[in-house]
Amino acid sequence: MSGDQRLSDEMSALAAEFALGLAAADDRVRALRLHSEDPQFRAEVAAWAGRFTPLFDEVAPVAPPSGLLARVESAIGFLDARPDPVALRRSRNIWRGFSLAATGIAAALAIVLVNRPDIPDAGRSSPAPMIAMLGADQGPPLIVATWSPAARKLTVTPEPGAADDDHHSRELWVIPAGGTPHSMGTMPKRATMQAVLDPTAAALLAQGVTLAVSVEPPGGSTTGQPTGRVIASGKLQSA
Amino acid sequence: MAPSAALFPPLPIASEHFRALTGSMDRPVTPPDTGAAGDLTSALYRVTAGDRDGLKTLYRSTSAKLFGICLRLLGNENEAEDVLQEVYVTVWQKAGQFDRTKSSPITWLATIARNRSIDRLRLKRVRTESVEAGLHVADESPLPFDIVELGQQQDRLSRCLDELDDRQSQVIRAAFLNGASYPELAAREAVPLGTLKSWVRRGLLHLRGCLER
């Protein structure tokens, strides 16, 4: 075993656990750090993911409901895509990513607003604690946010290792269903950030809102709206 | 011993797109872009260019497979629909990151679908684990299937999984296909968490050795 470029068994097993989604707690934190810092570990994770892909063949195809393509197109911002109202009402992820054309987003959101008079709990905070796991597109959660409405306390734990560089900050946003992003400030470099929010900011943190982190100029966006790419996002849900 | 039949119906499911799955990520192979893989690759390139018809083509050829994966992992149609929508929106935005020297289009898409589903699953479990300490893994009734020619890679993986002891191979498959977590697997197998972890790790390393032979 052991050649120079071969990971130890222990590291390879951790990479496998991470690829499978088995790594939890401290192991996951460690794997996240290695994944962002160590190219060899990252390659091992990819290799493990590849080793298991033949198992996908054991999963039977199941046709999704007919309106789903229209939901996808509407979420992307194609204006003439008209998901049926029931499908749209059930949609939980209309807003994805800041990288879409702004007009597309606005249009998609307008459709959503018109068609979603019955969003449960929108705009109302509940006393139960909530959690959001913010993830990138292909991978486990990178940032965990917990929200205690009773104490108005927001706790954000960033992935270890992916600190800001000198040229960028990472900014946290809350996006109410069908609304505009509100900045919650820039993310801490490594440590957990905890803040007691004022009642106005607290009112934004309702069940189902999206939390997202974007890459911004140092100190945060100067426009009051996200300007860079989104590196992680997730929904706030009852804990 | 946990019965494996119900959890893992050993039915090779035909999927024309999966026939293209001959290149593995650990041994990059660039297959000639013909047939289903070629169509999907060109659809992905069209999506990268913002071509809506490319997205439609991609969706029509892959959504049933990806929905099957989301449904298998999440065990709930509404959630599977939500995740599937996220997957295609993601693909619309990130199609440019697809690298055909590293995986086939369907593998790339299936991996995104799996990762998104696992995220959702873990989030759900954070919410429910206090009340559902034991947690069950969703059973699936057998679905229609066809016999498919299994590629070399499938054969190799299943041969190597067969080399493991039954329980090791079952838990590894459950982790991949059902998204089972360590605590769930330990509860199912009625062994302490530490014992389960060391089985799995030994099994994984044996698997790696076997696949590299």
In angstroms, the Cα distances linking B58 to A68, A108, B63 are 13, 22, 8
pLDDT of residue A139: 65
pLDDT of residue A214: 84
Query: How close is the nearest chain B Cα to the Cα of A44, in Å?
Result: 8
Residue B191 to residue A134: CA distance in whole angstroms: 32
> DSSP per residue over A34-56, as a string?
HHHH-HHHHHHHHHHHHHHGGGG
Query: How close is the nearest chain A Cα to the Cα of B45, in Å?
Result: 17
Residue A220 to residue B99: CA distance in whole angstroms: 32
Query: How close is the nearest chain A Cα to the Cα of B130, in Å?
Result: 10
Residue with tokens 């982790």: B175
pLDDT means per 10 residues, chain A with 239 residues, are: 69 94 86 89 90 92 93 81 45 29 33 33 54 76 80 74 62 81 73 70 84 81 80 83
- Threshold 0.90, pTM exceeds: no
Contact flag B123-A53 (C-beta cutoff 8 Å): no
B102 to chain A, any CB pair closer than 8 A? The answer is yes
Contact flag A62-B173 (C-beta cutoff 8 Å): no
Contact flag B13-A69 (C-beta cutoff 8 Å): no
pLDDT of residue B163: 94
- Please state whether B190 falls in left (phi above 0), alpha (psi between -120 and 50) or beta: left
pLDDT of residue B64: 95
B150 to chain A, any CB pair closer than 8 A? The answer is yes
Which chain B residue shows the shortest CA-CA distance from A72? Answer: B85
- Which residues sit opposite A212 in a β-bridge? A173, A233
pLDDT of residue B69: 96
Q: What does the pLDDT look like over A81-120, one tens digit per residue?
A: 655 444 433 333 222 222 223 333 333 333 333 333 333 3
Residue with tokens 């197109």: A73
Please list every residue in chain A whose beta carbon sits closer than 8 Å to the beta carbon of residue B173. 55
Residue A140 to residue A19: CA distance in whole angstroms: 9
Alpha helices per DSSP H over chain A: 9-20, 25-37, 39-52, 68-76, 85-90, 102-115, 199-204
Low-confidence ranges of chain B (pLDDT < 70): 1-36, 124-152
* B122 closest CA partner among B188, B194, B183: B183
Q: Give the rounded percent of residues in chain A with a pLDDT score beyond 90.
A: 16
Residue A6: its H or E element = none
A142 to chain B, any CB pair closer than 8 A? The answer is no
Which of B22, B55, B66, B81 to mutate against chain A (most A CBs within 10 Å)? B81
Q: What does the pLDDT look like over B67-101, one tens digit per residue?
A: 999 999 999 999 999 999 999 998 998 888 888 87
Contact flag B65-A9 (C-beta cutoff 8 Å): no
Q: What does the pLDDT look like over B42-73, one tens digit per residue?
A: 999 999 888 999 999 999 999 999 999 999 99
SS3 A141: strand
Residue length of chain A: 239
pLDDT of residue A91: 35
